[in-house]
Amino acid sequence: VNGVLYLVSGTNLYSVTPGFSATLLGNIAASGPVTIVYNGFQIGFFTGPALWVYTLKTQVLVQVNLPFPPSGAAVELDGFTLAAQSNPPIIWQSELLDMTTWNALAFGSETGNGEPIVTMAVMNREIFVFKNTVTGVWVDVGSAPFAFARLDGVYIEAGACAAGAVSQIGDSLVFVNQNSQGNATILQLRGYQPQVVSTHALEIVLQGYPTLNDLVSYSYQQDGHHWYVLNSPSGNATWVFDSTTSQR
């Protein structure tokens, strides 16, 4: 944010300048993955069941009492922060540009099926709500008190088995899908159509890992190529997919 890196290490929140000078900003109750959301004025840190908000202008860190149990999945769109309640699958919305205020009536139900919400991602001003086997797409329609609605006619018959393994590459999302038979594939959304980008050999390897829930990924661009990097902590392995040449 404005050239400053904000990160969580253990239970400590730090800011790090480009000169690698670290400042302790406060402590948050974190024992696992942390989702960080920025709305232009505040930075939110979703630590699973809790939300901590750091306001840049006042440099104050507070814990926010939410009217729902958050799952840790959260995104920002059009100044609103959206957070997922896993089960039942509900999407909650903050006040505009204010992550500390949540209206108990500002929510929408992701009722495509009974599966819990795994994670969410924003691309092209659309919110992709990933479940285990399906993905819904939501857009800002300007309604009140909840401004978002499902995009009519769009329902993707593929989901994500690992919340940390969804990454954007250019104008597409790449994620790991596991079907009802337990077979895992790496998919890339082109438009709303999921396409398999993993090889059969890689899929066999993925099925042999102790778990797929701990998969994490990131993406980057270098020398005109878009890369998707997938790491399995339990499998002690890292895989790289070149989206530009479709090599892995």
The whole-angstrom distance between residue 177's C-alpha and the CA centroid of its chain comes to 15
* Dist. CA 223–CA 79, nearest whole Å: 33
| Residue 157 in this model has a pLDDT that exceeds 80 | yes
Q: How far is CA 182 from each of CA 132, 179, 203, 207, 236, rounded to the nearest angstrom?
A: 11, 5, 11, 8, 20
For residue 248, the model assigns a pLDDT of 56
Q: Tell me which of 4 and 224 has the higher pLDDT.
A: 4
Q: Which of 50, 154, 136, 158 is nearest to 99 (CA)?
A: 50
Q: Report residue 58's pLDDT band, with 50, 70 and 90 as the boundaries.
A: very high
Radius of gyration of the chain (CA): 18
| 248: nearest Cα among 156, 146, 176 | 176
Q: Between 181 and 73, whose confidence is greater? A: 73
The pLDDT of residue 144 is 96
Confidence of residue 29 (pLDDT cuts 50, 70, 90): confident
